[in-house]
Amino acid sequence: MSEAVLSRLGRLLPFLQWWSLVTPETLKKDFMAGLTGAIIVLPQGIAFATIAGLPPEYGLYTAMVTPVVAALFGSSRHLISGPTTAISIVVFSAISRYAEPGSPEFIHLALTLTFLAGAYQFGFGLARLGTLVNFVSHTVVVGFTAGAAILIATSQMKHVLGVQVPRGESFAHTWMDIFHQLGNINYYVLTVALGTLFTAIAVKKFFPRAPHLLLALITGGVIALLLGAQEHGIALVPAIPGHLPPPSRPDFSLATIQQLAPEAFAVALLGLIEAVSISRAIATKSHQRIDSNQEFIGQGLSNMFGSFFSSYAGSGPSPVPG
């Protein structure tokens, strides 16, 4: 096979470029890194799906399907794709105006949004628009992430305090509603929330290599059990289906596509900025050259493919542990 054909095939199937580097020794290290990543993503996936307004299993489905496709067709050897905080809150804000969070209609719209975002990303990669990321400064990304963190914390305060806040409230109105309901705080719910939070912080500080989020999730569950969750109004996460991501079908009607196209464009750009900026940051230590255009294609294919297997929009939240 000629060198030109091999080069073209390598661009079409980028995983062929690193496949020869896989050895029993690297597989052993990759297995441990993958196991660590799976333990970390278990509580994260549930939390991110809840933030996005989806049933918790959809966060796990996204963490199963998205990283496989993105790893095979992206350029980074260290990036783990999956559900992220920022994209989850954008998905919720984009679709909650059209459907009730958690409803079948909401899920169908989320899958359609995911496919459209992936199509945008794939198109950007084919058009060689990877250099666009260079025009987004790190300061903008940090500012957006910080703002998203504040909005997420605000949206979850009602669950921390056990009070009722209407959906769709603005930032200011949400805090006003919380202030007026301070006398209705459910201290059993607050105890579970604080116990979970303090466990995560303590484990992260004193045992940095331990899965702090998973241990915090277990601790919070034990506290809820000891307090008598159902008797004191502590909401429980429903049982997560014990099966692989089921096939799904996005809604490709013209009306839905027109409705979600602007939001999908925003999700696509945000996902690309996250993935490329993080992959470049880790590449400075591994001395790997990142191809932004190939990363665009990998992220796009992962979202397009994932939308047919119950996955919502994902990106590159973190490098491989270890």
pLDDT of residue 303: 95
Residue 139 lies in a domain: yes
Q: State both tokens at 107.
A: 């899920």
CB-count burial class (<10 Å; 0-12, 13-18, 19+) for 281: middle
Residue 18 lies in a domain: no
Which residue has better confidence, 283 or 262? 262
- 178 plus 192 within the same structural domain: no
- 193 plus 173 within the same structural domain: no
User: pLDDT tens digit string along 215-241?
Assistant: 898 899 899 989 988 788 888 777 777
Which residue range(s) make up the domain with 200? 187-233
- 192 plus 179 within the same structural domain: no
247 pLDDT above the threshold of 70: yes
- 127 plus 227 within the same structural domain: no
pLDDT of residue 123: 93
Mean of all residue pLDDT scores within the chain: 84
- 149 plus 281 within the same structural domain: yes
Tally of domains in the chain:
2
Cα distance between residue 306 and residue 248, in whole Å = 9
Q: Can you give the C-alpha Rg of the chain in angstroms?
A: 21
Residue with tokens 């919502």: 312
- 65 plus 109 within the same structural domain: yes
User: pLDDT tens digit string along 147-173?
Assistant: 777 887 888 888 899 888 877 677 888
- 179 plus 90 within the same structural domain: yes
Helix ranges (DSSP H) in the chain: 3-12, 16-19, 24-51, 57-73, 85-95, 104-126, 138-161, 171-180, 187-206, 212-227, 254-286, 292-306
CB-count burial class (<10 Å; 0-12, 13-18, 19+) for 63: buried
Q: pLDDT-derived band of residue 65, with 50, 70 and 90 as boundaries?
A: very high
Q: State both tokens at 218.
A: 């277990």
- 93 plus 104 within the same structural domain: yes
- 209 plus 267 within the same structural domain: no
CB-count burial class (<10 Å; 0-12, 13-18, 19+) for 96: middle
- 176 plus 118 within the same structural domain: yes
pLDDT of residue 81: 87
- 179 plus 193 within the same structural domain: no
- 148 plus 75 within the same structural domain: yes
pLDDT of residue 124: 92
User: pLDDT tens digit string along 171-204?
Assistant: 888 899 999 888 899 999 999 999 999 999 999 9
143 pLDDT above the threshold of 70: yes
pLDDT of residue 321: 44
DSSP 162-185: T----TT--HHHHHHHHHHTGGG-
pLDDT of residue 322: 42
